[in-house]
Amino acid sequence: MHIRLINPNTTASMTEKIGAAGLKVAAAGTVVSATNPDAGPVSIESHFDEAISAVGVLEEIRRGEQEGVDAYVIACFGDPGLLAARELTAAPVIGIAEAAFHLATLISTRFSVVTTLGRTCIIAEHLLQSYGFAHHCRKVRAAEIPVLDLEDDGACALGRIVDECRRARDEDGVGSIVLGCGGMADLTDEIREAVGLPIIEGVTAAVKLAESLVSLRLGTSKHGDLAFPRPKPFTGRFAYLGN
């Protein structure tokens, strides 16, 4: 089984971190590879960033299809391009936010999300509504950390995330906490030890869900709206996407 982790931003150090986190939890015999687009934002912190990065995600899915990848993980908490990616393949495609929300509801009746910047809280809240998990989530909190600080100032970032997770534990009445950024993939154990609650991190959650779907021979339905896109020409700089 080959699972491809797609970091939708172009920061290679984050891609390596995401790949290492996925490999750490993968079953024996599962091949885990991590990639990122050649072009796009260095971090994803807005609707605009997500829209641009989605094209890169779709390009990575197309490459994976040529390589025979069995399942894909979109390793950004906004799940950019998720439904479009599912249209391009019969393999499972899992977004890390959706994966983390699912797992949180299996181990607690209420959870909170701790993410990076305050403006991205709204994006997470939109996803909770869209996926049907809003009534399980007590609060979406921000540690007010730019995403790249997770790469450049890890110790300080960890401290701020832990502080916000402790506030969620003490103030929100939750049983678990979801980490709201793929760049936090290497921090789960330290946060869990410091906070004393189950901590759900989306990259690792998505890898285990992907393994389960492949093992159960469950792929993306090609009946209905997730059928392969209808063949048509594209023009201009997107002509290469046409068929």
pLDDT tens, residue by residue, 51-75: 999 999 999 999 999 999 999 999 9
> Which two structure tokens, joined as six digits, stand for 215?
């093992």
Q: Where in the chain is the domain with CATH 3.40.50.12500?
A: 2-96+204-241, 97-202
Position 9 pLDDT exceeds 80: yes
| Per-residue pLDDT, 156 | 86
Between CA 178 and CA 211 the distance in angstroms is 20
pLDDT digits (tens, 9 = 90+) for 167-215: 999 999 999 999 999 999 999 999 999 999 999 999 999 999 999 999 9
Between CA 19 and CA 65 the distance in angstroms is 19
Specify the fold of 97-202: Rossmann fold (3.40.50)
Between CA 234 and CA 213 the distance in angstroms is 33
Position 225 pLDDT exceeds 90: yes
| Per-residue pLDDT, 145 | 92
Q: What is the DSSP string of 80-149?
A: TTHHHHHHT-SS-EEEHHHHHHHHHHHH-S-EEEEES-HHHHHHHHHHHHHHT-GGGEEEEEE----TTH
CB within 8 A of 23, min separation 6: which ones? 32
User: What percent of the chain lies above the pLDDT cut of 90?
Assistant: 94
pLDDT digits (tens, 9 = 90+) for 136-175: 999 999 999 999 988 876 688 899 999 999 999 999 999 9
Which amino acid, 80? P
Q: Are 158 and 187 in contact (CB under 8 A)?
A: yes
Which option is the CATH number for 2-96+204-241: 3.40.50.12500, 3.30.1490.190, 3.50.50.60, 3.40.1180.10? 3.40.50.12500
Could you give phi then psi for residue 176, rounded to 5 degrees?
Answer: -155, 165
